[in-house]
Amino acid sequence: MSWFEVQDLTWFQKLCIKILQCGKIPEHVAFILDGNRRYAKKLKTTVEAGHVSGFDTLSRTLDWCRHIGIKEVTVYTFSIENFKRSKEEVNELMALAKNKFEELLKEKERVKENGIRIKVIGNISLLPEDLQRLIARVDLMTAGNDRAILNIAMAYTSKEEMTHAMEEIFWGTREDLLVPSDVDDDLINQCLYTWESNHPDLLIRTSGEVRLSDFMLWQTAYSCLHFSSVLWPEFSFWELTKAILHYQVVHPTIQEAKCVASRKCRSCNQLDPQKKNRIDHFINKLREKEDLALKSIATM
């Protein structure tokens, strides 16, 4: 199945979307895709086939999100912990990802027409070199797009992301771009792999597991967390509808909590123009460094 599966919705699905759209639609939804291997076991098929079915469900889900009007999706496809799985399974997952990123590069015109930004978040240096190259090329190919955003978390954990952000800040202080008192939550946020994104409004985890497994711990401080008991390959339009309804019910409470938190921060922060200039300069230098690194990976 391709990345951009276009499905014909039934009249009832279309009606449900209209009803959902009377309420608040989350702008950014994050998914922990869990349960591919249990699904494979249930169907008495191979683990590899379970992951392929997982990809097909991802493709269908992206189409439902597009129909519903969800602008940004982030998916946890491979955690740093997943490198501890059998060599065979890791290789199969890497081969599947390689194949899917090659397809994306071939679909350049379609990606451009639809204005889709695709970005891999994670420590991509841990991935095989050929996959790193494809990821960097897809990132550069889609860099100017912003109609729909897909973030693919690979070789990702939140703890690694936060450690990486700290390393960038230490680099900034070593280069005399920052002083220690510049460090605050806005600066850390700008140094995360997700710096381009708003934080997820809704996080969905499948397979009945009720934990975050080191995924977007910083970014989900005020997200609606929805745990679904179905295995990821069985995730359906109706499961997505249920999750959005859950979000619509809790949205007012979450908004209120967010308002209280931002009020507290504003009263703590005195606007210091020198600090602002230093941080802007540091962020520009950081982006230049990241851009150079990406371009060098794309051509390696």
Report 201-220 residues binding ligand FPP (CB under 6 A).
Answer: 207
Q: What is the dihedral of CA 54, 56, 61, 64, to 10 degrees?
A: -160
d(CA 158, CA 118): 20
Judged by CB under 6 A, does residue 161 bind ligand FPP?
no
Q: Which is nearer to Mg ion, 48 or 102 (CB)?
A: 48
CB of 175 to ligand FPP, least distance (A): 34
What angle do the packed helices 47-68 and 237-268 form, to 10 degrees? 70
Contact between 180 and 173 under an 8 Å Cβ cutoff? The reply is: yes
Residue in 38, 66, 251, 285 binding ligand FPP, rule: CB under 6 A: 38
Q: How many CB atoms lie within 10 A of CB 1?
A: 14
Report 225-254 residues binding Mg ion (CB under 5 A).
Answer: none
d(CA 281, CA 291): 15
Stretch that binds ligand FPP, among 5-13, 74-82, 134-142, 216-224 (CB under 6 A): 74-82
Contacts with ligand FPP, 107-146, as mask; x by CB under 6 A: ----------------------------------------
CB of 208 to ligand FPP, least distance (A): 10
Residues contacting 30, CB < 8 A, separation 6+: 73, 74, 75, 76, 200, 202, 203, 204, 215, 216, 219, 220, 223
Judged by CB under 5 A, does residue 34 bind Mg ion?
yes
Judged by CB under 5 A, does residue 33 bind Mg ion?
no
Q: Which is nearer to Mg ion, 32 or 136 (CB)?
A: 32
Contacts with ligand FPP, 256-285, as mask; x by CB under 6 A: ------------------------------
Binding site for Mg ion (CB under 5 A): 34
